[in-house]
Structure 1
Amino acid sequence: MKLLLDAGNSRLKWAIVERGAEPVTGAVSPDEEGLSELAGRIVAEGAPERVALVSVRDAAFADQVSGWCVRQGLPSPFVVRTGRGAHGVWPAYAQVEALGTDRYAAMVAAHRLFEGPLVVVDCGTAVTIDALDEHGRHLGGLILPGLSLMRRSLCAGTAALPDVDERRISSLAANTVDQIASGTVLGLASAVDGLCERVTEVMGPAVPARVLTGGDAALIDAHGRLSYAWRPWLVFQGAFFIMEGDACDPWRSC
């Protein structure tokens, strides 16, 4: 049994993976309260023999997770690091450590799971778009604000616009809250579509597969006009591959 952790800007996503069983997944807050909640789930599911951590947070958080593992009687976490070629992906960054490990893990997984050139789109707090050629060479990428940041900026930067939760999305909404909800979702979907098309134009003649992941991926998949392969657990799959080497994909074949 493996415990996979993906520490993003807003949430700590987790997956408990065991061969022959569907992975158990969830999310908690990235703090002691969230780790305490996760400890309860581990008691219910059983103790993992390995732990992998993908984190965009600071080193102090990795230390916090390591201390938590010690208190739970778990092995020290395998901390995923961005590498150059070690896992089939060659980042375009001159300083590879500057590329977020979540993006790296997602690209590693996508390159293992799909053939040919790829555009990997991760829709989280920020939206990242990364291009890979068929050999795993990272050609570069783009970053833009995610859905929650777009909505918070509207709320914070105006005098009377409200914060919104999920609503019915409409091309022409008839009240302010629905207009904000619809405008941000459709605007982000259009932005992702348009940027993917631009990236594709400069990648060469072969049409890349577009792989979509992240917390808001379902909205982009539903409201975008391009075709995407939705893989919600792509970062976990990358962490599993990196930690286990030439292992199977637990979401497909274990």
Structure 2
Amino acid sequence: MILLVDIGNSYFKWAVAEQGGIAETRYLNYRETHFITALTQAWGELAAPEAIGLAAVAAPDVVEDVFRLGRSLWPEAKWVRPASARQGLGLTSAYCKPEKLGVDRWLAMIGALHAYPGANCVVDCGTAITVDFVAADGRHQGGLICPGLRLMTQALAANTHALPVAAGAGATALGTDTDAAIQAGVQWAAAGLVEAALRRQKQNYRLVLTGGDATLVAQQLTVDKVLDVQLVFKGLLRCCVESETVG
């Protein structure tokens, strides 16, 4: 069994992988006071993993706490912490400084490359929305980054007079009150970015969506898409399986 861990900008996520399959993702808010207590209880119910794959783009203090907890619970487990590179697992980075590419984007592209052979447009809808194009041969073509749905909504609330932070799922139609208009507006903005990026390419790409807000963005899209919320974990599992440290 392999334990997969993703520490993002907003949430701490983990899932168990066995025999190539990945179980349902579980979430905790690592900013909560009792985060480590809650995680200790949740992980205490798991069987000892052979390996622990860790991807982290934020919160180095949280990473250290997680290392400490994992080592205390499962001292024999091997740790695998991938890093973005020039090349790896069939993927070639387009970045001049490959180490500057977020590891979550790197893993999502690896996950898509192996789960969905062919040319892919990988969109991760999280705290930020990232759009990356990967050719069928694994060559990353480059990408785009913009604020995620929550950040766009918060920016409106913080920089305009008397506009609240909107709540609700939004709609595919025009809003008839301010909250609905904000929710629809930020979701349409995200969908518009994705569709514009696809139109500007010289070849066709399969659209693969992942991340916490992927379902909301997918509802606004008028193009064919694949929804895979475990894409980062699929890339992380691939790294764990092929790492020499496993076993």
Specify if TM > 0.5. Answer: yes
Matches of 1:35 and 1:136, distance apart in 2: 38
What code does the residue aligned with 2:233 have? F
> TM-score scaled by structure 1?
0.87
The unaligned stretches of length 5 or more in structure 1 are 247-254
What SS is found at the alignment partner of 1:180?
A: helix
Aligned pair partner of 2:232 in 217, 235, 249? 235
Q: Does 1:139 align with 2:132?
A: no
Cα drift, residue 142 of structure 1: 0.7
Do 1:17 and 1:24's aligned partners in 2 also have CA atoms closer than 8 Å?
Answer: no
**RMSD between superposed Cα atoms in Å:** 2.0
- Aligned residue in 2 for 1:252: none
- Aligned residue in 2 for 1:95: 97
> TM-score scaled by structure 2?
0.90
Do 1:212 and 1:230's aligned partners in 2 also have CA atoms closer than 8 Å?
Answer: yes
- Aligned residue in 1 for 2:198: 196
The unaligned stretches of length 5 or more in structure 2 are none
Cα drift, residue 103 of structure 1: 0.4
What code does the residue aligned with 1:13 have? K
Matches of 2:38 and 2:99, distance apart in 1: 31
What code does the residue aligned with 1:89 have? L
- Aligned residue in 1 for 2:210: 213
Do 2:169 and 2:216's aligned partners in 1 also have CA atoms closer than 8 Å?
Answer: no
Do 1:117 and 1:208's aligned partners in 2 also have CA atoms closer than 8 Å?
Answer: yes
What code does the residue aligned with 2:144 have? L
Matches of 1:22 and 1:240, distance apart in 2: 9
Q: Does 1:77 align with 2:79?
A: yes
Matches of 2:221 and 2:148, distance apart in 1: 15
What code does the residue aligned with 2:216 have? L
Aligned pair partner of 2:123 in 118, 121, 124? 121
What code does the residue aligned with 1:179 have? A
- Aligned residue in 2 for 1:154: 156
- How many residues align? The count is 241
- Aligned residue in 1 for 2:67: 66
- Aligned residue in 2 for 1:250: none
Matches of 1:37 and 1:24, distance apart in 2: 18
Matches of 2:20 and 2:207, distance apart in 1: 29
Cα drift, residue 76 of structure 1: 5.4
- Aligned residue in 2 for 1:7: 7
- Aligned residue in 2 for 1:18: 18
